[in-house]
Chains A and B, each alone.
Chain A
């Protein structure tokens, strides 16, 4: 793979994999480092990418594994005060904090079973097609569809319940 091909086929995927890295590492800085580290690895092994049938799914897998390694590598931290922990949480801007809807949907997704959660995140946030999702989840396309279908139905039902409850509260 030439530099030009790498810049066209691989480098733009940084934008796609970044949200997944941030989801997994819960930090913008760590997510950036992970994506950069992966892109560096991919650049160094760009000749092997020519043999890869689905570059997008492969890049997602590389980033996912790098993030899992980073999570494993981290030592557990013991906090003396709760405020110490709060200081380490990712800092959201005011607009994000105000956006209740985003937080509610995030909470609903967090409560989904792990494989459904991953399927809905890979499809809706990362914008992958079913073949790519199936490859990343090590499953087949039909099951990836089922997972997404169940996840979306569940999100809709739970969100509608919360939304209806809030509407009643407002009245």
Chain B
């Protein structure tokens, strides 16, 4: 069975000597904070006074961090939504543009077909006894041989 040694009692005079020569450990200094007399007590009262911090410091700081995080999250959500809207509008615009392009293409094909048809209707037999003297968009002058 494991034997537990009793904790070595603090010798306050020894600790005080070591403290003032700068050789005490942190646990010994904590002991002096809890119980000391004379000049050590005065010094430890000073230390305790200087160690005072506002109540609930950690929680207050954490609450502020959380609040700022939420604000940042809200701003980034807003930016995200705005960016999504911009992207959607952009995609919609591109689709619309492509549709318009396709409509124009279809119209062009139709016009091309109509013109082709019209051209076939008025086509001249080039192998016959006719010679085209002049041709432009409106007029074609044909000479019979």
Contacts and interface: CB of A to CB of B under 8 A. Distances in A.
Contact of B43 (A7, A35, A105): A105
Interface stretch (B20-28, B107-115, B118-126): B20-28
Q: In the complex, which range does the number of interface residues on chain B fall in?
A: 20 to 34
Interface in B29-78: 29, 39, 42-43, 45-47, 49-54, 57-58, 60-62, 64-65, 68
A27 interface: no
A152 B47 contact: no
A125 B47 contact: yes
Contacts of A127: 26, 51
24 contacts: A11-B58, A11-B62, A14-B58, A15-B58, A18-B53, A18-B54, A19-B52, A23-B50, A35-B57, A35-B61, A36-B61, A36-B64, A96-B49, A99-B49, A101-B45, A102-B45, A129-B26, A145-B22, A145-B23, A149-B21, A149-B22, A153-B20, A159-B42, A160-B39
Interface of A: 7, 11-12, 14-15, 18-19, 23, 28, 32, 35-36, 39-40, 43, 96, 99, 101-102, 105-106, 124-125, 127, 129, 145-146, 148-153, 155-156, 159-160, 163
